[in-house]
């Protein structure tokens, strides 16, 4: 019964869509779809028919040149259209890119250092640069209230505090345009180093995972109605801008892999079946102790650090896989088979480097001064307000909550919707303390610093955090299409 009601709401939304000019988009393949009438379900040309090269060496990420001047590291970042050769025998594909690179240039600093970055916007849309996960001042965090107009620029300046070493990233955050700007190519990684890194002896691999959706002509495909409802996924999941690239791991060699889920909406259930894998870090840096894992779920916007040892177990896939995962899509098909993200070739035998039993200390946040509830919901009968937080769509002029600098807060995230909704909070990291799977609460088995947590339908998550700087902080679903559609709120942190 609930499923049938949801279907009727989707079809009602489709009828309303036809009468709503601002939502209208060119149909890619909607005609005749039996379940959804005239709705555009976004049928894509098959990956194998487009001729995108695969199996090439994993590309190294370009690095942003930084110059030390006046006590800070200074650099320049420009967002602009760029044409990149993608398909053999076809015209170059237009992306939107930072410094003409997809992914954008990697930025690497150490705790305590200051970044002074000049940003110029040469896009046809307003944009911002959001420094995802970094504990920096609100007025430097690229919030949607602070857009950079086309043809304009601004300076971002911030100092990285002690204890924030980890794998972060940067991407646009203009309200209503975030998803498009990210899927066109605007994203880059930001690594903060610790001067006392217990894993500094391990060789590193950086893998930025992103979706690419192409049309029949090899251009970036327009988003379909299904993309806007479910969250956009493409024919290709790229690693560092390449499809199913190859990398080498020595037999017995232990490497440190930093992995970013820079997709708009895809929940990645990652696995390396033939190898020994330890989870050593999450969004906000290292765990207290390594944890042996067979697979792990990384939501859109999330990051993990892994210690991977080359075992090449016979009969098992040697590469990095995304295992099947269903996230409750309303229109598009679910991922029902494993995807190959990168092939791993066996190198020479190497002595296995040690993995410390203790990585760092993480103290549990104390009892909260404030408790709040955040409910994700969907209203498919209203195309102007489909994705809601606490029954309301985002309003740039409204503060949803008011908090205090330094106060520990506990939030209960309740997914009352039919799809997975990954929760993201700006300006800080949080600790998940409990999860409710619909049957009962269970304690989180270990402490970790996160800024994104996936919340499946019908489930709840309790988390605690502390904001150390004043200003407005966004919280939202990190399926970017849902964020753009209004599944976002603001916390006003006061001194």
Q: Do 155 and 488 form a contact (C-beta atoms < 8 A)? A: no
Structure tokens at 60: 């190294």
Per-residue confidence in pLDDT tens, the chain, 495 aa: 444 445 445 444 444 433 333 222 322 222 223 233 345 656 788 888 899 999 999 999 999 999 999 999 999 999 999 999 999 889 999 999 999 999 999 999 999 999 999 999 999 999 999 999 999 999 999 999 999 999 999 999 999 999 999 999 999 999 999 999 999 999 999 999 999 999 999 999 999 999 999 999 999 999 999 999 999 999 999 999 999 999 999 999 999 999 999 999 999 999 999 999 999 999 999 999 999 999 999 999 999 999 999 999 999 999 999 999 999 999 999 999 999 999 999 999 999 999 999 999 999 999 999 999 999 999 988 887 889 999 999 999 999 999 999 999 999 999 999 999 999 999 999 999 999 998 999 999 999 999 999 999 999 999 999 999 999 999 999 999 999 999 999 999 999
- Determine the Cα–Cα distance for residues 138 and 470; give it in Å rounded to an integer: 7
Numbers of helices and strands, H then E, in the chain: 5, 32
- Based on the fold, state whether residues 217 and 302 are members of the same structural domain: yes
Determine, yes or no, domain membership for 47. Answer: no
- Based on the fold, state whether residues 240 and 329 are members of the same structural domain: yes
Long-range contacts of 26-30 (CB under 8 A, 24+ apart): 26/222, 27/224, 28/215, 28/221, 28/222, 28/224, 29/224, 30/224, 30/225
Distances (CA, A) of 327 to 25, 116, 248, 332, 454: 25, 39, 32, 11, 10
- Determine the Cα–Cα distance for residues 93 and 96; give it in Å rounded to an integer: 10
- Determine the Cα–Cα distance for residues 204 and 187; give it in Å rounded to an integer: 20
Q: Do 344 and 319 form a contact (C-beta atoms < 8 A)? A: yes
Looking up residue 302, the CATH number of its domain turns out to be: 2.60.40.420
Residue-range definition of the domain harbouring residue 233: 204-347
Query: In this structure, how many other beta carbons lie within 10 angstroms of the beta carbon of residue 312?
Result: 15
- Based on the fold, state whether residues 13 and 97 are members of the same structural domain: no
Torsion of CA 453, 429, 126, 384, to 10 degrees: 40
Determine, yes or no, domain membership for 410. Answer: yes
- Based on the fold, state whether residues 183 and 224 are members of the same structural domain: no
- Determine the Cα–Cα distance for residues 176 and 478; give it in Å rounded to an integer: 13
Cβ neighbours of residue 481 closer than 8 Å, sequence gap 6 or more: 179, 223, 227, 228, 229, 230, 231, 232, 264, 265
Long-range contacts of 368-372 (CB under 8 A, 24+ apart): 368/408, 368/409, 368/410, 368/464, 369/404, 369/407, 369/408, 369/409, 370/403, 370/407, 370/408, 370/409, 370/410, 371/409, 371/410, 371/411, 371/412, 372/401, 372/409, 372/410, 372/411, 372/412
For the chain, the straight-line distance linking the first and the last C-alpha, in angstroms and rounded, comes to 49
- Based on the fold, state whether residues 208 and 315 are members of the same structural domain: yes
pLDDT of residue 381: 83
Determine, yes or no, domain membership for 57. Answer: no
pLDDT of residue 385: 82
- Determine the Cα–Cα distance for residues 310 and 196; give it in Å rounded to an integer: 26
Determine, yes or no, domain membership for 352. Answer: no
pTM for the predicted model, two decimal places: 0.92
- Based on the fold, state whether residues 208 and 343 are members of the same structural domain: yes
- Determine the Cα–Cα distance for residues 59 and 24; give it in Å rounded to an integer: 38
- Determine the Cα–Cα distance for residues 453 and 439; give it in Å rounded to an integer: 19
pLDDT of residue 42: 62
Nearest-CA neighbor of 178 among 454, 476, 380, 400?
Answer: 476
DSSP 439: S
Determine, yes or no, domain membership for 56. Answer: no
Cβ neighbours of residue 48 closer than 8 Å, sequence gap 6 or more: none
- Based on the fold, state whether residues 300 and 412 are members of the same structural domain: no
- Determine the Cα–Cα distance for residues 189 and 206; give it in Å rounded to an integer: 9
Question: CA angle at residue 337 from 332 to 343, to 5 degrees?
Answer: 120
DSSP 52: B
pLDDT of residue 41: 58
- Based on the fold, state whether residues 188 and 211 are members of the same structural domain: no
Domain boundary among 193, 223, 240: 193
Helix (H, G, I), strand (E, B) or coil at 300: coil
Determine, yes or no, domain membership for 109. Answer: yes
- Based on the fold, state whether residues 98 and 167 are members of the same structural domain: yes
Nearest-CA neighbor of 83 among 219, 269, 177, 186?
Answer: 219
Distances (CA, A) of 115 to 65, 79, 186: 12, 18, 20
Q: Do 213 and 235 form a contact (C-beta atoms < 8 A)? A: yes
- Based on the fold, state whether residues 6 and 99 are members of the same structural domain: no
Structure tokens at 446: 């270990």
Q: Do 399 and 372 form a contact (C-beta atoms < 8 A)? A: no
- Based on the fold, state whether residues 343 and 379 are members of the same structural domain: no
- Based on the fold, state whether residues 11 and 114 are members of the same structural domain: no
Query: In this structure, how many other beta carbons lie within 10 angstroms of the beta carbon of residue 111?
Result: 17
Torsion sign over Cα 394, 399, 402, 404: positive
DSSP 10: H
Domain boundary among 171, 193, 215: 193
Number of domains observed in the structure of the chain: 4
Determine, yes or no, domain membership for 362. Answer: no
Determine, yes or no, domain membership for 354. Answer: no
Torsion sign over Cα 384, 417, 169, 218: negative
Q: Do 233 and 265 form a contact (C-beta atoms < 8 A)? A: yes
């Amino acid at each position: 019964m609930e499923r049938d009601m949801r279907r009727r709401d989707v079809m009602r939304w489709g009828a309303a869509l036809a009468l709503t000019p601002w939502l209208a988009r060119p149909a890619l393949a909607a005609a005749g779809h039996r379940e959804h009438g005239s709705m555009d379900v976004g049928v894509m040309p098959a990956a194998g028919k487009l001729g995108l090269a695969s199996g090439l060496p994993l590309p190294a990420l370009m690095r942003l040149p930084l110059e030390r001047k006046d006590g800070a590291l200074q650099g320049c970042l420009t967002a602009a259209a760029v044409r990149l050769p993608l398909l053999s025998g076809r015209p170059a594909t237009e992306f939107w890119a930072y410094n003409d690179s997809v992914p954008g240039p990697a930025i690497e600093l150490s705790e305590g250092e200051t970044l002074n970055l000049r940003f110029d916007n040469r896009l046809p849309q307003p944009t911002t640069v959001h420094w995802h996960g970094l504990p920096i001042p609100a007025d430097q965090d690229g919030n949607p209230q602070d857009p950079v107009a086309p043809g304009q620029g601004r300076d971002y300046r911030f100092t990285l505090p002690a204890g924030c070493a980890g794998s972060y990233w940067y991407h646009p955050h203009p309200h209503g345009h975030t998803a498009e700007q990210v899927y066109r190519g605007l994203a880059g990684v930001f690594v903060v180093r610790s001067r006392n890194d217990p894993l500094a002896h391990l060789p590193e691999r950086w893998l930025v995972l992103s979706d690419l959706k192409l049309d029949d002509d090899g251009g970036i495909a327009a988003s379909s109605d299904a993309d806007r409802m479910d969250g956009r996924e493409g024919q290709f999941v790229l690693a560092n801008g390449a499809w199913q690239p190859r990398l080498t791991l020595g037999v017995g060699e232990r490497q440190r892999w930093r992995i970013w889920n820079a997709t708009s909406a895809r929940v990645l259930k990652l696995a390396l079946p033939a190898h020994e894998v330890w989870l050593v870090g999450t969004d906000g840096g290292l765990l207290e102790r390594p944890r042996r894992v067979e697979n792990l779920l990384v939501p859109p916007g999330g990051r993990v650090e892994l210690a991977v040892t080359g075992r090449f177990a016979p009969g098992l896939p040697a590469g990095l896989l995304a295992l099947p995962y269903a996230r409750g899509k309303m229109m598009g098909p679910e991922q029902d088979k494993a995807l190959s993200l990168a092939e791993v070739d066996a190198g020479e035998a190497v002595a296995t480097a040690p993995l410390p039993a203790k990585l760092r200390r993480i103290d549990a946040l104390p009892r909260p001064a404030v408790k709040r509830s955040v409910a994700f919901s969907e209203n498919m009968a209203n195309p102007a307000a489909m994705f809601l937080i606490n029954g309301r769509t985002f309003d740039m002029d409204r503060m949803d909550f008011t908090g205090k600098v330094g106060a520990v807060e506990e939030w209960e995230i309740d997914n009352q919707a039919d799809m997975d909704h990954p929760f993201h909070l700006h300006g800080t990291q949080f600790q998940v303390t409990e999860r409710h799977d619909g049957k009962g609460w269970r304690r989180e088995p270990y402490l970790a610093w996160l800024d994104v947590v996936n919340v499946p339908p019908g489930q709840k998550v309790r988390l605690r955090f502390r904001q150390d700087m004043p200003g407005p902080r966004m919280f939202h679903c990190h399926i970017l299409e849902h964020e753009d559609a209004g599944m976002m709120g603001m916390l006003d942190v006061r001194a």
